[in-house]
Each structure stands twice: as C-alpha cells, then as structure tokens.
C-alpha cells in the first residue's frame, strides 16, 4: 500500500545488514546484495546520509537550488514518497526531520569514527585500519556543491588522520608503520608537504641519511616542476645537520680551486 508522504513515519525499518556506501561511488546494499536505486533518488539518499537530521526545507534547497522553495519541497515530497514504497527504505521521517534509519551503516561514519579514535589515541588497533579508511573520494563524478564541500572535508580529515598515525608510530619508534602511513598520505596528495616532511624525519630517525636526502630532493623537484615553488624553510631545516658537512666540503673545494686568471696557459 502506498504511504502518504505527509505522514511523519517511515515505511518500516530496513532489514539488518543494510549499508550505504558513498566513498568511491554510491552503493546501497542489503546483506551485501546491491539495491538498484535511480540516480535521482541516489542524490536524496546520499544527502540524507551526509546531513543527519536536516529539515525538509534544508534538503530541498540543497537538492534543487535553482527551483523555487515551493517546487523544491514538492520534488522532495515526491522523492520521499517513492523511497518509502521500498520495504528496505533506508530512512526515517519524524515531523520535519529526515535521517537515515539508525540500523543503516554508513561508510562515511566509519571514516569519521576512525579519525576520532586516532585523534583520541584510545584504540591502538585503529591505526592499522586507518590506512584503508576513506581511501576513495566521496561520490566521484558528482559535482553538486554539497558533494564538493563534503568531499574536501573528508579528504582533509583523512590526510590529517594518516599524518597523525605516522607521527604516533614515529614517536614510538615503529618506523616501518610510520613510513606506511606517511606514504599513504603522500599517495593521496603528492604535492602536500607534510607527508614528505614525515618521510624525511622517519629516514633520519632510522639513520638513513641517503634516503632522507633523496626524499627531500624528489619532493623539491616535484614542487619546482608542478608549482615553481621551493620546500618550506621548516622542511629544509630538517636536513641542515645532515647536509652541513657536504656543503662545507663544497665551499672548501671551491675556495681551494685556482681562479681562472691565476691558471697557466
């Protein structure tokens, strides 16, 4: 029986095992089996997942920004009515508020939760899972303003999480694990200096001066080639002690070399 879209209840709780995946692309699963959702309704479900507790007016304004408020709300009512015809409807509607059903697992929430546990440092096993968490961008190929904002927010969240994991491992002397996390962050954003700086610090902590110098110059060349910039003074300072003898030897070699005017012809 069709549900009345004005009634503030959902069509029934989703079955156990319903999960919504927005990282790497939209997927709604029930017991690992995909549920086919039209593209227009995918946008509605995705926004409800990313804006828990949003009002109808807020959702309608984000989904149909170019429509009048009345028309946008009408489109939202139709979309919610269509969604609630499915027995595994992934949402609940209470009054003017729409949210995912509490039993639906959202991969974005998993990423945010992992980052929070890493930040608090209260779960040592979290660090291993942090490398894979959020490895894919939010809804690639979607260009709605609300998607672009959340995509960048989650990207920055993951980068800071990986850098924090690398720093924690480095402080504990776990150099291999620290390098894995730093390289994961570097792969996510090759031009970002922080993971490159961490890689240099890790090699220096291991006593691998060659690796540290090599990592520095690889980043310097990349930065010059792509942005015509130089590494920051903070990164250059990491290698001051390592490169000081080389620089001194170079200066002495130049000073001891006879000037062209003094050479015999």
Q: pLDDT tier at 89 (50, 70, 90 boundaries)?
A: confident
Specify the pLDDT at position 126. 78
Q: What percent of the chain has pLDDT over 70?
A: 85
Answer CATH for 18-103 from 3.40.50.11810, 1.10.10.10, 1.10.10.60, 3.30.200.20 = 1.10.10.10
Q: pLDDT tier at 43 (50, 70, 90 boundaries)?
A: very high
Q: pLDDT tier at 258 (50, 70, 90 boundaries)?
A: low
pLDDT at 23 over 90: yes
- Say which range, 59-63, 157-161, 173-177, 251-255, has the weakest mean pLDDT: 251-255
Q: Which one is predicted more confidently, 93 or 249?
A: 93
pLDDT tens figures, 211-235:
999 999 999 999 999 999 999 999 9
Q: Report yes or no on whether pTM surpasses 0.95.
A: no
Which region holds residue 195: left if phi is over 0, alpha if psi is between -120 and 50, else beta?
alpha
pLDDT tens figures, 1-11:
233 333 333 34
pLDDT tens figures, 98-141:
999 889 999 999 999 999 999 988 676 778 888 988 999 999 99
Average pLDDT of the chain? 87
Domain boundaries, the chain: 18-103, 107-172, 190-251
Q: What is the 3-state secondary structure (H, E, C) of the chain?
A: CCCCCCCCCCCCCCCCCEEEECECCCEEEECCEECCCCHHHHHHHHHHHHCCCEEHHHHHHHHCCCCCHHHHHHHHHHHHHHHCCCCCCCEEEECCEEEECCCCEEHHHHHHHHHHHHHHCCCCCHHHHHCCCCCCCECCCCCCHHHHHHHHHHHHHHHHHHHHHHHHHHHCCCHHHHHHHHHHHHHHCCCCHHHHHHHHHHHHHHCCHHHHHHHHHHHHHHHHHHHCCCCCHHHHHHCHHHHHHHHHHHHHHHHHCCCHHHCCC
pLDDT tens figures, 195-214:
999 999 999 999 999 999 99
């Amino acid at each position: 029986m069709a549900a009345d879209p004005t009634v503030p209840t959902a069509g029934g709780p989703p079955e156990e095992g319903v999960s919504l995946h927005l990282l790497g692309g939209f997927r709604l699963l029930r017991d690992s089996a995909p549920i086919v959702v039209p593209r227009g309704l995918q946008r509605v479900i995705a926004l409800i997942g990313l804006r828990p507790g949003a009002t109808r007016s807020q959702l309608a304004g984000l989904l149909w920004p170019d429509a009048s408020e009345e028309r946008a709300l009408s489109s939202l009512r139709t979309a919610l009515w269509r969604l609630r015809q499915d027995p595994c409807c992934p949402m609940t509607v209470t009054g003017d508020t729409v949210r995912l059903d509490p039993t639906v697992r959202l991969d974005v929430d998993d990423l945010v939760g992992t980052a929070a546990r890493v930040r608090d440092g209260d779960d040592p096993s979290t660090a291993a899972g942090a490398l894979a968490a959020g490895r894919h961008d939010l809804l690639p190929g979607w260009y709605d303003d609300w998607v672009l904002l959340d995509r960048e927010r989650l990207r920055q969240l993951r980068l800071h999480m990986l850098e924090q994991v690398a720093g924690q491992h480095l402080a504990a002397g776990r150099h291999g694990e620290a390098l894995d996390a730093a390289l994961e962050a570097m792969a996510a954003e090759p031009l970002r200096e922080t993971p490159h700086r961490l890689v240099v610090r890790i090699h220096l902590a291991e006593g691998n001066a060659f690796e540290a110098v090599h990592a520095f110059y690889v980043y310097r060349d990349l930065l010059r080639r792509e942005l015509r910039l130089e590494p920051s003074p903070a990164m250059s300072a990491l290698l001051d002690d390592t490169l000081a003898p080389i620089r001194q030897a170079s200066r002495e070699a130049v000073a001891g070399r006879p000037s062209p005017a003094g050479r015999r012809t």
